[in-house]
Amino acid sequence: MIKIVIDTKGGDKGATEMIKGAKAALMKYDQLSVLLVGDESVISSECKKLEMPMDRVEILDAPLEITNYDSAADAIFNKTESSMLKGLKTLSEREDLFGLVTTGNTGVLLTGAMRYLSGKDRVRPALAAVLPSENGGFTCLVDTGATIDCNSQMLHHFARLGSDFMKQSYAIDSPKIGLLSNGSESSKGNKLVKETYPVLESDESLNFVGNIEGNRALSGDCDVLVCDGFAGNQVMKVTEGTATRIITDIMKYAHRTGSDEIKKLGLHLMEIYDIGSLGGGYILGITKPVIKARGNAGEKAVVSIAGMFVNMASNKAMFDKSKNKI
């Protein structure tokens, strides 16, 4: 059995949606069990309504909630009984728990993960998103918002985390590492990019392929695209926004012309670029898997994330205890 922690608080859609997702995930994956963290009375009531298979469900009472207005420093010391932090602490203490998913505050999550799930080297965690690329594969974008202001050492660290992740979870022997820039030439980029380029180039353990421009971010030219959290967050959101706009126009055209083929195309693209249902961002550099779902994540996203955990658990290389990190 694979047991995962689901934080039922902190999302836009409330605990009910997370619990519905847990039920759907349990129905889809026979090897899955869950620890639901949040208001015990609410969880118990919803589980009863949904006729949850309680032999595969555990409930952990956590009366407090991390909001988007909580600062990481205040929450870490004053909200230890919140569902997010109590879930992280429990994950760190129990051998039977594999990973955690939450829709809550990213800043608090990163700080909590560092506090409870840091390895011996206590590295700074990074937030990575895996997006579909043009060549039919996937591109790991790191960082996507955990660290806004970075230096070249941090970007080097992100590159190594991303490379290890793609080796372990996607079986890529030598992941191609790209550096997000405003031009492909080595001379292009802002101060940070220009400082980082020679650092990545000199690391013989990395398959560094050079600068990648924004319009080639999801081309498949690289397996890992490295950038600071501000740029990475913009790449992810602009990609989603552009895809949504194009798909909306296609569906409008299909409706106007009555073309079933064009409608099928729109539905196909929706499935590929539905960022909300792809799952969430992986926190890299910690001792157990933690996935940050979007704030508006619903039932479909919870099921997708459960599938991610199942796939991780089946790949024993994903969590290498000798390295003490994901």
Instruction: Please identify every stretch of the chain with a pLDDT value under 50, giving residue numbers as ranges.
Output: 317-326
Q: Cβ of 248: how many Cβ atoms within 10 Å?
A: 12
Tell me whether the CATH fold assigned to 2-123+285-318 matches the one assigned to 127-275: yes
Q: What's the confidence (pLDDT) of residue 177?
A: 98
CA 260-264-265 angle, to 5 degrees, is 120
Helix (H, G, I), strand (E, B) or coil at 67: coil
Q: What's the confidence (pLDDT) of residue 320?
A: 43
Is the whole model's pTM more than 0.85, yes or no? no
Element (H, E) at 317: none
DSSP string, 161-223: HHHHHHHHHH--SS-EEEEEESSSSTT-S-HHHHHHHHHHHH-TTSEEEEEEEGGGTTSSS-S
Question: Which burial class, exposed, middle or buried, applies to 158 when counting CB atoms under 10 A from its CB (0-12, 13-18, 19+)?
Answer: buried
DSSP state of 199: H
Q: What's the confidence (pLDDT) of residue 64?
A: 93
CA distances from 227 to 21, 230, 280 (A): 32, 8, 18
Alpha-carbon gap, residue 140 to 240, rounded angstroms: 15
8 A C-beta contact, residue 235 and residue 141: yes
Q: What's the confidence (pLDDT) of residue 315?
A: 67
Place of tokens 């050492």: 153
Alpha-carbon gap, residue 47 to 54, rounded angstroms: 8
Q: Which fold would CATH assign to domain 127-275?
A: Isopropylmalate Dehydrogenase (3.40.718)
Question: How do the domains of the chain map onto residue ranges?
Answer: 2-123+285-318, 127-275
Place of tokens 């992986």: 282
Q: Which fold would CATH assign to domain 2-123+285-318?
A: Isopropylmalate Dehydrogenase (3.40.718)
Q: Which two tokens stand for residue 33?
A: 């069990």
Helix (H, G, I), strand (E, B) or coil at 262: helix
Helix (H, G, I), strand (E, B) or coil at 107: helix
Q: What's the confidence (pLDDT) of residue 298?
A: 83
8 A C-beta contact, residue 43 and residue 8: yes
